[in-house]
């Protein structure tokens, strides 16, 4: 993650550790910690493999006996642990995607929302996204209205969502540049043309602002 940030010209500084990627010493500390972590993972893997080999030599099978024997209490415990881990992962990233879902649902499909999130660098499939929202609703962290069925969408509505996603991923992009991206995607204009004019892009962005899909601002 830090390497990705550095490639984008973003620096990282830890408040509790001697890591500051703006300095050579900080980068060295980061590399040392990374090497130590990699070594620990390798040692854990080796110890696990050695333990499994020793258990097999004694005639014992690896893994949890309760799960292997399909004991109800062991399976229930495993399921609860998996659900808790899933919930933790969902809550850790909810601030990145849930506000967008709340703004777009149920007027927009899960495919549309996943496309907008992808434009912002968030890799979600429609089904994974719907499942995550369903979990949030079940835990009382989101409104059940988010799961309502979306109304039929006109082709122009899909274009509006696509243009909004491109603009949201880079607010400084020009209308002409958005049009060029749409042409690369082989997207037809609302009138069926192959060439996008800045005015056609602007009309879609204006519609997005009126519908609340995009915050009002000068383009």
Angle separating helix axes 175-184 and 155-169, nearest 10 degrees = 120
Q: Which residues pair with 16 in a beta bridge?
A: none
Mean pLDDT confidence for 40-59: 85
Span of 8-22, 86-100, 115-129, 203-217 with lowest mean pLDDT:
203-217
Handedness of CA 69, 73, 76, 80 (dihedral sign): negative
For the chain, the straight-line distance linking the first and the last C-alpha, in angstroms and rounded, comes to 32
195 has a pLDDT exceeding 90: yes
Mean pLDDT confidence for 184-204: 89
219 has a pLDDT exceeding 60: no
Give the pTM: 0.47
Structure tokens at 119: 């434009």
Query: Which of 133, 79, 138, 123 shows the shortest CA–CA distance to 101?
Result: 133
Q: What is the pLDDT of residue 134?
A: 95
Q: What is the pLDDT of residue 37?
A: 84
201 has a pLDDT exceeding 50: yes
Q: Which residues pair with 20 in a beta bridge?
A: 13
Rounded to the nearest 10°, the torsion over CA 169, 172, 173, 175 is 120
Mean pLDDT of the chain: 85
- Tell me, what DSSP letter sits at residue 58? T
DSSP 115-159: HHHHHTT----HHHHHHHHHHHHHTTSS-GGGGSPPPP--HHHHH
């Amino acid at each position: 993650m830090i390497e990705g940030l550095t490639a984008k010209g973003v620096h990282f500084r830890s408040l509790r550790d001697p890591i500051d990627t703006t300095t050579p010493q900080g980068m060295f500390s980061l590399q040392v910690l990374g090497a130590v972590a990699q070594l620990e993972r390798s040692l854990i893997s080796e110890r696990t493999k050695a333990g499994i080999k020793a258990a097999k030599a004694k005639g014992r099978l690896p893994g949890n006996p309760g799960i292997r024997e399909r004991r109800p209490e062991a399976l229930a415990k495993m399921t609860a642990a998996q659900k808790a881990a899933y919930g933790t992962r969902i809550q850790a990233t909810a601030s990145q995607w849930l506000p967008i879902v709340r703004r777009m649902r149920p007027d927009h499909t899960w495919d549309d929302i996943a496309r907008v999130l992808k434009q912002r660098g968030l890799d979600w499939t429609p089904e994974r996204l719907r499942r995550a929202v369903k979990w949030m609703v079940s835990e009382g962290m989101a409104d059940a209205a988010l799961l309502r069925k979306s109304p039929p969408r006109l082709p122009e509505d899909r274009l509006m969502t696509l243009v909004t996603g491109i603009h949201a991923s880079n607010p400084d992009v020009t209308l002409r540049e958005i049009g060029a991206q749409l042409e690369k995607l082989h997207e037809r204009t609302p009138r069926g043309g192959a060439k996008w004019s800045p005015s056609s892009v602007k009309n879609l962005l204006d519609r997005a602002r009126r519908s609340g899909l995009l915050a009002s601002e000068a383009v």
